[in-house]
Amino acid sequence: MEKKVLDVLLVARDKGLYHAITDCGAGGLSSAVGEMAKGLGARVFLEKVPLKYQNLLPWEIWVSEAQERMVLAVPDPAAVDLAREQTSKARLPFETLVKTVMRELAKLSPQGHVHAQELYAAVNILRRVPPAPLLALLATRPEFVHVGDLHYRLEE
């Protein structure tokens, strides 16, 4: 699952298997789920949320900003498992993975910018890595343009 989430997201997007995606920034799940479920409602099973830090109380899971997660609105969870299986055969090079994730995240911002922490959270879901390789890539490759406050734009 670690390295395949991006592939899964791309295939799932193309097949219409999710309706929306957002990162859990300030406010954690409370903010992300609140934005996505506005006007619709949602059921959240906090006991099923994978934890980076164990022994958190339910309210801590709900508002935690340190969990580095993304939230997807998925109408059929079984379809995501199928997409993950289909894409588990390919392993993208790290730079390609970062560019692909950045392209998708940039679509969520009117400015087309992506914060390094948001990018790291998404990449880390797909492939468990420390932040150093990503930060090195952002700092050394000219196609990653720093636009201020750790926000980057991809110029291709």
Is pTM beyond 0.75? Reply is no
Nearest-angstrom CA–CA distance, 112 and 106:
4
68, 142: one domain? no
Q: Which of 66, 87, 108 is the last residue of a domain?
A: 87
Total domain count, the chain: 2
19, 75: one domain? yes
**pLDDT-above-90 percentage for the chain:** 17
Nearest-angstrom CA–CA distance, 4 and 127:
7
Confidence of residue 148 (pLDDT cuts 50, 70, 90): very high
Q: Which of 65, 87, 109 is the last residue of a domain?
A: 87
Helix (H, G, I), strand (E, B) or coil at 27: coil
Identify the pLDDT of residue 144.
Answer: 96
63, 129: one domain? no
Q: What is the domain range of residue 49?
A: 5-87
101, 80: one domain? no
57, 99: one domain? no
123, 82: one domain? no
Give pLDDT tens digits for 112-140: 999 998 898 888 777 777 888 999 999 99
Nearest-angstrom CA–CA distance, 23 and 67:
10
